[in-house]
Every structure is written in structure tokens, then in C-alpha cells.
Structure 1
């Protein structure tokens, strides 16, 4: 068990962001990948249990995690669990990966992949709204995969914002903490919203060359971006979703009255000609077990 059960640090070591983004792109081009619908079981007290299977021709996984919003602001993580990886030919368990680490890193790597392909100004500066686990992961991913050198950070927790700014500086980035994310939009062509998605945190016109990755809201009731902002981005720019599942999960877009099912998914964008669209880009990410399978494929090779 000791050889297969990886700690959070050991899991992270097997999932460097640029390599994970490349593995995600490879997975999207692999026609052996099968991803059944995930089971989301509501739990007493407002939490949820997620059961997310997936497989390709050689590896099968199941991700088992709990999402407990009530843990926000406490010493307990809001996302806990594991990703169990099996060899298909033998049925042998290959690895047990730390679930929160996989979730953080694969989500940021998907955003990185979308930005590599779609961002008009991929070198930043970068505005991060939300200084938790996902904010940190996206900071690291965009620094490693895009060469971002400047980060602006906004959080409802001043201590968390200062902590993430200090981490950015430790990576060699210039960093500042800001109170008003809407005002920072004028300076930052890259934007990531990674909040608990309990209320709108951004509802303003972005730059015409903006790339916005919205990752916090992954149910119909959750929201980070205001309805008017979503509608404006849809009208004068490009909106891309991570997968077709966003059609019933992307709270920001659904609450704005946008026909999410008609929007292009990342796989279709990657399969087309590598042309950056004109105007601002919104990449809406809701999550998918395929991203966890990509992480498992990379981890078993490590």
C-alpha cells in the first residue's frame, strides 16, 4: 500500500502543470476515452459526494471526493478524497492519488491549456479573484505554462490574499493585493475567478483582449460572474466551455440566460485550426472525470 498511496506532495510532484496540460490535450484526441456521467449525491448539511469514473484503453479510475462548503474558513478542506487508478489488463490497483491535489492541479491545467490556445495576451498580467487552493494552483500553472510575471490578487480574506501574493513573489512574480477586482480588469488581460461561488464577485466590462477562466461555479445555483458580464462576453467575444456537461452545470451562464448547449467545448476548439478568436474570451470550467483520467495517465508514468 505504501508504494501506491501517494501523499499530496507526492501526487503534486507527478503532475507538473505544463506536462499535465499537454496530457489533457492528448486525452481529448484519444477516442478510447470513456467518461460516464458523474454521480453527485447531496449529503445532509449541504455537502455533496462525487463519484466520477473514467477509463481509456489501459487505465481505469474512480474519483471519490466530498465537497463540504461549511468547511470554508476552517482548518478542514472543502474538498477531500482520493483518485483510485487501476490497470485494465490485470485489474491491479496502480495508484491512489490525493483527490484535492488532483482536483486543484487538473483544473488549473485545463485553464492553462485553454489560455495557451485562446488567450489574446497570454503573458498577463494576471488577476486572480479568490486566494484559496484553486487561486494558488492557477497562479502556479499560469506562471509555469505561460510565463506570467505579474499577479494582482483579490480575496475576501486579506490574510489569504497577502499569503498568495507572498507565494507569487517566491516564484519570481511581481504581486499586489487589490480590493476592487473590477478596477483591476483594465490592467489585467488574464483573469481567473476561483471563489466558493456563493455570490457574484465580478460584473464589469473586461478588456477587449481579456481571457477569463471562471472555475468556481460548477452547479446551476453557483455563480461568480454577473449575468450582464456573461451576456456582454457572449455578445462581443467568445465563450468556450470545458465539456458539454456545462450545459446543466455552468451556473454563471445558465443564470445569464445563455444557451450553454450551443457553446463550443474545449475539445472542438483544440481540434480546429489554431486561430485566436477576436475580442475577449470567457472559458467556463465545471469539471469532468476526463481531466482526472489525464492526471492519472501522467502520474502512472512518473
Structure 2
């Protein structure tokens, strides 16, 4: 029987700490196969993503659209679904809400990276960009790292205030900051989740900082100034989520960094090593993360 899960049911099936653990397990699973995703440009500036993946038990295809201008229409930026199949029988066994999986698995990947790479994990946490990904990262870092202090920066004060209110409802000490670059000096944990249409961060992260750069996931997108990326490459540690980042990590590619020479999150999961700060973790997305979510959701 096919399980059709709406946004709320999908979220309940994917607690952040457990999802981070499932992602780590997937990175150690030799049966996982993830072909390159298809990104089809759409008229008007949107994109259609087709992202299949499989392991020995579960196969998925993620079908979502990304339309940056949807905020002005009052619509979600990401829409679509993840179809889950049983490998042995080929039967469809589940349908998960695509935006919910995207938000939660992306934050869980950042959480796993912070668990393995962050020189300091106590915060304060600075979130730059107060949309869906800002909210999911806030929840993930609170649940998985125990962060209690949060600073929120957004070009729209109302969005920042709404995320601050959500953080306070979770029992966190939260406040809005109007200068994200200045806030870098007091925050060892930083997550950037902006629409990435232009550089929004030019400040220098602390020596003990962990940065999860999430917003830019194509070569043309960018959040961090090229000189900041080059500085962190010279004095710290750069890690990418997967080898797909070699041609998708806009922040690093536009800084002229040889992304193909950087280690991946899987490298750190399989062989932990010492970290030299600051740490810059570049996340671009991968269907394997959606497969991990499907594995967890269908096992619950």
C-alpha cells in the first residue's frame, strides 16, 4: 500500500538528529547509487529538478521546481514531491512532500557537517536568510547541537522578526541583527540560506567559525564574497557536500578555487581527522540526501 504523506506527516517522520544519523549511514553504504541530476531551465527563470537515487532496498525520484520569484507571488520557492519505490517489487510505497524533505534533509546535512567539523558547537548561531531554510537550520541546530542563542539577519526585517519569534517559541535566546558582517565576530556558528542572487556576506568569520553555505547551488549563484572564500581557503578548511559541488558550488567557483581538490563530507565521515578553523562547508544538494530521508521515513 502506498503511504501518501503531507507536509506535516513528512516532517514528523524526519526528526533532525535521526535524519543526520541516517545521512551518515547512507554515506557508508556501498549499495547507494546516485546518477547526476537533471536540471531543466524553465521559461521565466525557474528550474525543474529530476533527481533519482537507489540503494539495495529503496529507490526514489525527486521531482521539484525551483522558482526564485515565487515569493512575490505568495507561493513557495520549491514545490514538488518525492516518489518512493520498493526495489524488489518495483511497487510505489510512498509519496513524500518535496519541499519538506528538501528543507529538513538540507538542514540535517549541515547539522551532520557541524557535528563532525565545527571547532565550537555552542553558538551563538548566526542565520543569514530567514526563509524556509533559515527556519529548518534553526530547528536542526537547536535539536542536534543544543544551540541556545541565535542571531537572525535578513534583508526583510519582518522575515527576520518572524524567525526570531519562532526561535523564542522554542525557548531560545534570539534577536534580529541588521548587520550580518558585524555579527560574524560574535558567532562561531554561521548558516547562510539566502536566495543567493548576489553577494550578501563580505565579513571575515572567526578563526573558530563553522560556516554552512547553503543558498548557492548553481555556478551562477553566490552568497559569500570571493575574497572571503579565498581567505578561508588559505587559513582554514573547505569541505563540500559531494563531488557534484565540483561544478555547482557557485561561491567557491566564482572565487577561483579548485573545488575538485576539496574533501567531501563522506571523506570526513569515513576518516575523521583534525580540523583547522575556520571551516567553510559548501552544500549544493544531492539526491542521496533525499534517499536518506526516504529510508528513514519508510522505516518509521
TM-score scaled by length of structure 2: 0.99
- Structure-2 residue corresponding to 1:189: 188
Matched, 1:72 2:71: yes
Q: Residue 226 of structure 1 contacts residue 252 of structure 1 at CA under 8 Å; is this kept in 2?
A: yes
What is the CA distance between 1:278 and its match in structure 2? 2.0
- Structure-1 residue corresponding to 2:40: 41
What is the CA distance between 1:72 and its match in structure 2? 2.3
Q: Please, which runs of 5 or more residues in structure 2 have no aligned partner? A: none
Tell me the SS of whatever aligns to 1:122.
Answer: coil
5 Å-filtered alignment, 1:45-60, equals: 45-60=44-59
Cα deviation 1:143-186 (Å, max 9, x = unaligned): 00000000000001111100000000011110010110010011
Q: Residue 58 of structure 1 contacts residue 89 of structure 1 at CA under 8 Å; is this kept in 2?
A: yes
5 Å-filtered alignment, 1:1-302, equals: 4-273=3-272, 275-302=273-300
Q: Please, which runs of 5 or more residues in structure 1 have no aligned partner? A: none
What is the CA distance between 1:75 and its match in structure 2? 1.6
Q: How many residues align structurally?
A: 300
Cα deviation 1:83-114 (Å, max 9, x = unaligned): 00000111111110000000000000000000
For the aligned residues, what is the CA RMSD?
0.9
Q: Residue 196 of structure 2 contacts residue 222 of structure 2 at CA under 8 Å; is this kept in 1?
A: yes
What is the CA distance between 1:203 and its match in structure 2? 1.2
- Runs (4 or more) in structure 1 with deviation over 2 Å come to none
Q: Residue 210 of structure 2 contacts residue 277 of structure 2 at CA under 8 Å; is this kept in 1?
A: no
- For residues 129 and 16 of structure 1, the distance between their equivalents in structure 2, rounded to whole angstroms, comes to 23
- For residues 238 and 65 of structure 2, the distance between their equivalents in structure 1, rounded to whole angstroms, comes to 29
Tell me the SS of whatever aligns to 1:31.
Answer: coil
- For residues 177 and 166 of structure 2, the distance between their equivalents in structure 1, rounded to whole angstroms, comes to 16
Tell me the SS of whatever aligns to 2:137.
Answer: helix
What is the CA distance between 1:5 and its match in structure 2? 1.3
What is the CA distance between 1:205 and its match in structure 2? 1.1
